[in-house]
């Protein structure tokens, strides 16, 4: 294959990735907004508080989270490629899920580029994710144990099991995506 043809293919792949990233940012933004909308009302119900003033800090936190995510997606190309996965059509996403579950190769070069970007991001952030999960687990157990005298001893065990499961899932995804990427290389 000559260099002009390779350059043309890379340019087409980059153009498609940019289009997928744009669609993915819009979809992810919509998902975040829909996910954040019920949170203030759920917290009002849990706390038995009918005051709307309590919603202000939560609303500010949600707006900041959405703004931060949007800015990060626009400024960092590797995050744009990761969010491009959300921009894929349903058929390509499900084919990727199947490839990851089975450990089989990915033939679509655009999807392979996205999976490689996600894999790189997961590997780069593994220590931060594990540290955050351990910190959240410890803080949650401390809050549960100090919050009420009638806490079942199974509650901290369940919290630890969920945290270990989340860390194991992160590790499994790193290993499986590496396997799929290796099998997909020409």
pLDDT of residue 104: 93
Asked if 138 contacts 163 with a C-beta cutoff of 8 angstroms, the reply is no
Are 77 and 102 within one domain? no
3-state secondary structure of 125: coil
Q: Clarify whether residues 77 and 136 are in a common domain.
A: no
pLDDT of residue 177: 93
Q: What pLDDT does 148 receive?
A: 67
Of residues 8 and 124, more confidence is placed in 124
Q: Are residues 80 and 24 in the same domain?
A: yes
> How many other CB atoms are there within 10 angstroms of residue 131's CB atom?
10
Are 177 and 150 members of one domain? yes
The residue from 87, 110, 135 where one domain ends is 87
15-19, 87-91, 116-120, 149-153: which range is least confident on average?
149-153
Min mean pLDDT across 24-38, 46-60, 132-146 is at: 46-60
**What pLDDT was estimated at residue 86?**
86
pLDDT at res. 127: 92
In the chain, the number of structural domains is 2
Cβ atoms within 10 Å of 128's Cβ, excluding its own:
9
Q: What is the pLDDT of residue 53?
A: 76
Q: Which pLDDT does position 1 carry in this prediction?
A: 59
177, 119: one domain: yes
The pLDDT tens digits of the residues spanning 61-107 come to 888 888 888 787 777 765 666 788 888 999 999 999 999 999 999 99
DSSP 8-state symbol, 88 = S
**Mean pLDDT in the chain?**
84
**135 and 184 assigned to the same domain:** yes
Helix extents (H) in 76-125: 77-87, 90-102, 109-124
| Pairwise pLDDT comparison (122 vs 9), residue with the higher score | 122
Same domain, 81 and 165: no
Last residue of a domain, one of 71, 87, 103: 87
pTM > 0.85: yes or no? no
Same domain, 48 and 60: yes
Say how far apart CA 38 and CA 138 lie, in whole Å.
27
104 and 49 housed in the same domain: no
Q: Do 180 and 100 contact (CB within 8 A), yes or no?
A: yes
Residues 96 and 51 in one domain: no
In this structure, are 46 and 107 located in the same domain? no
Per-residue pLDDT at 181: 94
Residue where one domain finishes, among candidates 62, 87, 112: 87
Q: Is the same domain home to 44 and 101?
A: no
Identify the domain containing residue 181 by its residue range: 89-186
pLDDT at residue 110 tops 70: yes
């Amino acid at each position: 294959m000559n260099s002009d043809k390779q350059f043309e293919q890379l340019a087409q792949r980059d153009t498609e990735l940019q289009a997928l990233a744009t669609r993915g940012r819009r979809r992810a933004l919509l998902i975040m907004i829909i996910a954040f909308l019920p949170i203030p009302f759920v917290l009002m119900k849990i706390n038995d508080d009918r005051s709307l003033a309590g919603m202000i800090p939560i609303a500010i936190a949600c707006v900041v989270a959405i703004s931060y995510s949007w800015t990060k997606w626009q400024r960092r190309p590797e995050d744009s490629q990761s969010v491009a996965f959300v921009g894929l059509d349903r058929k390509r996403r499900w084919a990727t899920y199947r490839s990851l579950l089975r450990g089989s190769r990915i033939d679509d070069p655009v999807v392979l580029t996205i999976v490689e970007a996600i894999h790189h991001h997961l590997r780069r952030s593994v220590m931060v994710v594990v540290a955050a999960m351990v910190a959240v687990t410890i803080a949650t157990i401390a809050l549960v144990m100090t919050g009420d005298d009638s806490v079942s001893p199974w509650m901290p065990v369940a919290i630890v099991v969920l945290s270990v499961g989340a860390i194991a899932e992160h590790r499994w995804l790193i290993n499986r995506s590496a396997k799929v990427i290796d099998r997909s290389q020409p």
